[in-house]
């Protein structure tokens, strides 16, 4: 644009002043400055930045028929070097490191992203930042203490971890669990599923941008945690479900607390659905994002709500029922597309179905023992210790050296909120496990991340990571 004037002219009629010649290295002498000042008119001096300005002059709207921007929008090819983009060659791929300290990676997950602009070409998850050596520690703890260790692996669903561990130990011991203990286990684990999914929807919403979901999700979870504290003594990492049954019976008044929960939580869930289901931003950011097909799920070992959202009809509670859960009626929600939005819908419905199970437990829980009466495995009641020498010796032996489990190997799995959670236990006949291996669902899901993320945008990675519900304690153990 060569005919652009480089002095801004206003409405007033003033002479334009040519700036004096600049001599290299010399500043104007006093005389020339006074000279300049005498013929200056305020407001017309040309400042240095104007002299070097790079703007294109007054911006005006071009005719719609010739405006290149509108033509580009309409798809008419425009000759403009600004709009042409060249294909980037491999030298221009950028490596971006996400994590391990990151607000949205759900813990200490590290991702190496290879980016072409904003598109992900390759992603490599790097884990191990929370490796606690729990499988090694498990070999040093007795079977009664083992619950304290496994409960901290998946710290959002500790009762499921304890249940899987207890089922494995009981499978090797070959003991029967009383019906009331089984019902209490179902009650606690289904409520744990509710509290875990509440955290999931809180963090999923917050990662996508609905930051208020963080407050809402935790609000309902507090009621569940207060119930857990009343029953088990702890808000998290309870060590309540132990081999042989549960640690203690439900306290008086628990029915009222559960009724209250069944009243409050569905209202909260309806609020979340009202906030998110029809929200165009949420839908735009989640529909079609992070897709995984059923065949990929099977090959990679993706289980739980992620697999069900892809259409795989598989729930361990229906396929291999445990702890008497087949007595209760519940549905298993399925998705179709395998994207983030379907996982969200599946989990919301799972909260409702879990509450349905809780209501049935509340109505049909049998009276009875809360743990098996086999004295070789469970400690005697406290007041018996004062009365009977045998009870005292049992108690002493159980808590110091622990009970012996017959030699063998077993694998027991439960349906945790994240997927198939299994414990592979090898015993050599002594009081401590020979090998304790936890098959945790998040390990396989993090492995499936590259399948879900390649080809999508960086912003979609956040939505995808949140949607598979990884818990890094599960991944690294």
Partner 1 sequence: MTDGITSDQILGPLAAAFPDVEFRQVNDPPQDVALVAHGQYRDFVAAAREAGFDFFVDLCGVDYLRRQPRFEVVLNLLSHVHVRRLRIRVGVPGSEPTIASITGIFPGADFYEREAYDLFGIGFDGHPDLTRIVLPDDWEGHPLRKDYSVGSVPVRFKGSPRAQ
Partner 2 sequence: MAHESAPSGFLLTTYEKAVNWTRTRSMWAATFGLACCAIEMMATGAAHNDLARFGMEVFRASPRQADLMIVAGRVSQKMGPVLRQVYDQMAEPKWVISMGACASSGGMFNNYAIIQGVDEVVPVDIYVPGCPPGPQSLLHGILTLQDKVMAGEIRR
Task: Write down the least CB distance from residue 285 to partner 1, Å.
Answer: 28
Say if residues 108 and 446 touch (Cβ distance below 8 Å).
Answer: no
Q: Does 232 bind partner 2 (CB under 8 A)?
A: no
Could you say which of partner 1, partner 2, none residue 215 binds, taking C-beta under 5 to 8 angstroms by partner kind? partner 2
Which of 125, 466, 182 has its CA nearest to residue 323? 182
* Dist CA 447 CA 444 (whole Å): 5
Buried b / exposed e along 105-124 (16+ C-beta atoms within 10 A)? bbbbbbbebbbeeeebeebe
314 touching partner 1, by CB under 8 A: yes
CB of 402 to partner 2, least distance (A): 16
Residue 444 interacts with partner 1 (CB under 8 A): yes or no: yes
Cβ closest to partner 2, residue 172 vs residue 199: 199
**If binding is defined by CB under 8 A, does position 46 make contact with partner 2?**
no
Identified binder of partner 2 from the candidate list 113, 175, 225, 457, rule CB under 8 A? 225
* Interface with partner 1, residue 420, by CB under 8 A: yes
Q: Does residue 272 contact residue 213 with C-beta atoms inside 8 Å?
A: yes
Taking CB under 8 A as the criterion, the residue among 44, 71, 237, 410 binding partner 2 is 237
Binding mask 131-170 for partner 1 (x = CB under 8 A): x-x-xxx-xx------------------------------
Q: Per CB under 8 A, does 215 bind partner 2?
A: yes
* Distance from C-alpha of 208 to C-alpha of 463, rounded to nearest angstrom: 6
Record the tokens describing residue 169, joined without a space. Answer: 């130990």
What is the rounded CA–CA span in Å between residue 348 and residue 364? Answer: 25
Site for partner 2 in 254-283 (CB under 8 A): none
Using CA atoms, how far residue 2 sits from 9, 66, 210, in Å, is 17, 20, 50
Selected from 70, 115, 130, 287, the binder of partner 2 by CB under 8 A is 130
CB atoms within 10 A of CB 3: 5
Contact 210, 283 (CB under 8 A): no
Tell me the closest approach of the beta carbon of residue 65 to partner 1, in angstroms. 55
| Burial class of 6 by CB neighbour count within 10 A (0 to 12, 13 to 18, 19+) | exposed
Residues near partner 1 (CB under 8 A): 127-128, 131, 133, 135-137, 139-140, 171-172, 174, 298-301, 312, 314, 319-320, 408-411, 413, 420, 422, 424, 426, 434-435, 437, 439, 443-444, 446-448, 476-477
Residues near partner 2 (CB under 8 A): 100-103, 107-108, 128-134, 136-137, 148-149, 152, 155-156, 199, 214-215, 218-219, 221-222, 225, 235-237, 472-473, 476
């Amino acid at each position: 644009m060569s005919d652009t004037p480089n002095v801004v002219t206003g409405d007033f009629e003033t002479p334009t002043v040519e700036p004096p010649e600049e001599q290299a290295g010399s500043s104007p002498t006093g005389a020339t400055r006074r000279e300049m000042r005498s013929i200056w008119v305020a407001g017309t001096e040309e400042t240095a930045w104007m002299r070097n300005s790079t703007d294109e002059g007054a911006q005006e709207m071009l005719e719609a028929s010739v405006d290149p921007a509108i033509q580009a929008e309409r798809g008419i090819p425009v000759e403009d070097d600004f709009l042409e983009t060249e294909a980037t060659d491999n030298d221009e791929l950028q490596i971006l490191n996400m994590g391990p300290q990151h607000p949205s990676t759900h813990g200490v997950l590290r991702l190496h992203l290879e980016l072409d602009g904003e598109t992900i070409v390759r992603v490599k998850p790097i884990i191990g930042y929370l490796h606690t050596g729990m499988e090694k520690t498990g070999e040093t703890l007795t079977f009664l203490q083992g619950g304290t260790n496994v409960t901290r692996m998946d710290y959002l669903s500790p009762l499921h971890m304890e249940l899987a561990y207890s089922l494995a130990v009981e499978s090797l011991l070959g003991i029967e669990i009383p019906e009331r203990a089984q019902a209490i286990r179902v009650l606690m684990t289904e409520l744990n599923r509710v509290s875990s999914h509440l955290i999931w929807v809180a963090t999923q919403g917050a990662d996508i941008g609905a930051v208020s979901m963080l407050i809402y999700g935790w609000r309902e979870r507090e009621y569940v945690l207060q119930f857990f504290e009343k029953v088990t003594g702890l808000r998290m990492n309870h060590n309540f479900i132990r081999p042989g049954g549960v640690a203690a019976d439900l306290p008086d008044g628990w029915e009222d607390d559960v009724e209250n929960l069944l009243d409050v939580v569905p209202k909260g869930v309806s609020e979340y659905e009202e906030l998110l289901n029809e929200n165009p931003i949420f839908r735009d950011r989640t529909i079609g994002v992070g897709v995984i097909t059923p065949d990929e799920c099977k090959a990679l070992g993706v289980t739980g709500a992620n697999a069900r959202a892809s259409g795989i009809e598989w729930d361990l509670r229906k396929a291999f029922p445990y702890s008497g859960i087949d007595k209760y009626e519940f549905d298993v929600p399925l998705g179709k597309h395998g994207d983030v939005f379907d996982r969200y819908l599946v989990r919301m419905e799972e909260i409702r179905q879990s509450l349905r199970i809780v209501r049935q437990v509340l109505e049909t829980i049998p009276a009875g023992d809360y743990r098996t009466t086999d004295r070789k495995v469970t400690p005697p009641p406290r007041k018996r210790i004062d009365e009977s020498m045998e009870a005292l010796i049992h108690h002493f032996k159980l808590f110091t050296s622990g009970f012996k489990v017959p030699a063998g190997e077993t694998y027991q799995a439960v349906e945790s909120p994240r997927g198939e959670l299994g414990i592979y236990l090898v015993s050599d006949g002594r009081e401590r496990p020979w090998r304790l291996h936890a098959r945790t669902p998040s390990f396989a899901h993090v492995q499936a991340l590259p399948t879900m993320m390649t080809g999508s945008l960086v912003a979609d990675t956040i939505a995808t990571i949140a949607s598979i519900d990884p818990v890094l304690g599960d991944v690294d153990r």
